[in-house]
Amino acid sequence: MTKQVRQLDRVVIRFAGDSGDGMQLTGDRFTSETAQLGNDISTLPNFPAEIRAPAGTLPGVSSFQVHFADFDILTPGDAPNVLVAMNPAALKANLADLPKGASIIVNTDEFTNRNLAKVGYAANPLEDGSLEGWNVAPVGLTSMTVKALESFEISKKDAERAKNMFALGLLSWMYSRPHESTLSFLERKFASRPELVAANIAAFKAGWNFGETTENFAVRYEVKPARMVPGNYRNITGNAALALGVVAAGVRSQLPVFLGAYPITPASDILHELSKHKKFGVTTVQAEDEIAAIGVALGASYGGALGVTTTSGPGVALKGETISLAVALELPLLIIDVQRAGPSTGLPTKTEQADLNMALFGRHGEAPVAVLAPRSPADCFNTALEAARIALTYRTPVILLSDGYIANGSEPWRLPETAELPDLRVEFATEPNGEDGKTFLPYLRDPKTLARPWAVPGTPGLEHRIGGLEKADKTGDISYDPANHDFMVRTRAARIEGIDVPDVEVEDPDGTARVLVLGWGSTYGPIGAAARALRQRGLAVAQAHLRHLSPMPKNLGTVLKSYDKVVIPEMNLGQLAGVIRSRYLIDAIAYNQVRGLPFTAAELEGVLEEVVKNA
């Protein structure tokens, strides 16, 4: 039958089901198809907080949301236009996010009395009229998949597992996605089991053909490619971008990269990715715990490598003592903290921005370090390079604060040319630097950066003492002198405050805004989308975003005092707002939530509208 083709400028789709239903794989493949077509993309995977929650229950629901458009987008979307619900739990867990009039593709085979009872449905919502406000498309995804694969020599269980490929085929047809890459992916994924390759490809094609032939779906949709800066692009997650940024830093500094890491959600993927890049001089060690992980990384830095450690949640607390040691030793060290909801184990698969105070102040003694935060998945690459620049130039630990939203989300990333990347080469100390030409002074500082010499162990004539006890200025000898301690503490602080960072840029198109929205980290997208929506309605609002949190940009105080009101949205209880208030004496308006989920643009739009109208 001939089907109508309708043009759309944007779509938000959410795939939801049990953690064993393959929703992350389905969403990832749909995203890859969409990237291949050239749409702008933003994604939001959402995982169960429990490793093996009971099947069919609300805690076990896994979802993947993808927002794609023919224009520049900043968020994975506030609410889905389409929900693919693989069971009653997926429907119940996500229905509140679905606006009336949205479409629901529901797997009717799973709506058994037993599954309905698991999630507290007294009656079948597909039959009791409770879904009348939505466009419901009932599809027997499981039974149709099993029927399509009955001629294949696979078990019924394996056939049922392929229902996610049936759903992917249907959605790929519905939104005119290219599917050749998915078929190639299936061939690689199941290469050791040819029968599963054939079965999953058949399930995908069955879903595609079902969309083509059924009368249930009379309309097919198209979303044209977005206009983007010319170049080569790939879809990338925040964790993958961080890993590649670290690799690039190693290449551009001509240093070996050493990662000491302990697996922890949601930072583990950085370890997985870096372990693939041994040919670029990357060594990865999975340590027995968080303390050992940062210890070996700091040891690698002492030995002349770019030492890196990754962590999340409680792991950053365990690393605190060694970060303080790195401050005292004045060695480069990159600490990547992919923040998650806490305290303690908290919500390990959910996002939060509550480690800022820990990064800024969470050490004993006066132990300042540089702190940076990427604003999006693609921005993680450049932020990793910037963190390495600061660590290597100023001989300091640098904490890079990503979060679960950025780490697991993805967007298009333009691959940079090598010439665009910074030159990070380091000059090691090779000769004595004392006035007598024979003595090596390990704490004789560069007058511009206040960085001390970096001497690789074993260099003749450059023997020097390291350790946690206070060092004497220039000689590095152990010193208990009060005046020396005061001098060294102030010098280490001045070294951090003197780091060269770019001025903060303000987005204020017509220059008439009286309200500034200040953000950091992953709030960039929701803030930007909300500000864009307000401007389209004629309300003036300015936006600024901080990548450098320690030290802060030199012009930040002037910028803040240029506006009548400053609003700071954060996924914590006001940590940046507290710093801004104390440092700049600005009565910042904090807007906070700690739900384990990112802000929605609509939520911030409402909050900012009220502030703008009252300014």
Give 480-487's long-range contacts (Cβ < 8 A, gap of 24+).
none
Which of 420, 452, 485 is the endpoint of a domain?
420
Residue 317 lies in a domain: yes
Residue 345 lies in a domain: yes
Residue 229 lies in a domain: no
409, 462: one domain:
no
460, 558: one domain:
no
Mean pLDDT by 10 residues, the chain (615 residues): 89 95 96 95 92 88 97 97 98 97 97 96 96 96 97 94 98 96 95 95 97 92 94 96 98 98 97 98 98 98 98 96 98 98 94 98 96 98 98 98 98 95 97 95 97 96 93 96 98 98 97 97 98 97 98 98 98 98 97 96 97 93
396, 267: one domain:
yes
The answer to whether 421 and 430 have CB atoms below 8 angstroms apart is no
Residue 440 lies in a domain: yes
Provide the residue range defining the domain that includes 485. Answer: 427-500
Residue 307 lies in a domain: yes
For residue 40, the domain's CATH number is 3.40.920.10
CA 572 from chain center: how many Å? 17
193, 101: one domain:
yes
200, 133: one domain:
yes
Domains contained in the chain, number: 4
Which of 438, 472, 500 is the endpoint of a domain?
500
391, 433: one domain:
no
Which positions ≥6 away from 519 have C-beta within 8 Å?
527, 543, 544, 545, 546, 568, 569, 570
97, 173: one domain:
yes
569, 540: one domain:
yes
For residue 561, the domain's CATH number is 3.40.50.920
d(CA 193, CA 290): 38
74, 138: one domain:
yes
Q: What local confidence, expressed as pLDDT, does residue 2 receive?
A: 77
116, 159: one domain:
yes
Q: Which residues of 390-428 are buried (b: 16+ CB within 10 A; e: fewer)?
A: bbbbbbbbbbbbbbbbbbbbbbbbeeeeeeebeebeeee
User: Which structure tokens are listed for 127?
Assistant: 């039959």
Residue 512 lies in a domain: yes
193, 128: one domain:
yes
DSSP code at position 55: T
Q: In degrees to the nearest 10, what's the CA dihedral of 549, 552, 555, 558?
A: 80
Q: What local confidence, expressed as pLDDT, does residue 1 receive?
A: 64
Tell the residue number behind the tokens 């027997």, with chain if given: 140
Which positions ≥6 away from 372 have C-beta within 8 Å?
383, 386, 387, 390, 398, 399, 400, 401, 547, 548, 549
β strands within 213-271, DSSP E? 219-223, 233-237, 257-261
Residue 549 lies in a domain: yes
Q: What local confidence, expressed as pLDDT, does residue 465 receive?
A: 87
Q: What local confidence, expressed as pLDDT, does residue 50 receive?
A: 81
CA 212 from chain center: how many Å? 37
Which of 223, 254, 270 is the endpoint of a domain?
223
β strands within 313-440, DSSP E? 333-339, 370-372, 397-403, 410-414
The answer to whether 86 and 110 have CB atoms below 8 angstroms apart is yes
Q: What local confidence, expressed as pLDDT, does residue 52 receive?
A: 78
* Residue 346, Ramachandran bin (φ over 0: left; ψ between -120 and 50: alpha; else beta): left
Strand partners, 516: 542, 566
335, 274: one domain:
yes
Which positions ≥6 away from 208 have C-beta within 8 Å?
169, 170, 172, 173, 179
Q: According to the 3-state scheme, what is the secondary structure of 460-499?
A: CCCCCCCCCCCECCECCCECCCHHHHHHHHHHHHHHHHCC
Residue 228 lies in a domain: no
Element containing residue 6 per DSSP (H, E): strand 4-8
CA 284 from chain center: how many Å? 21
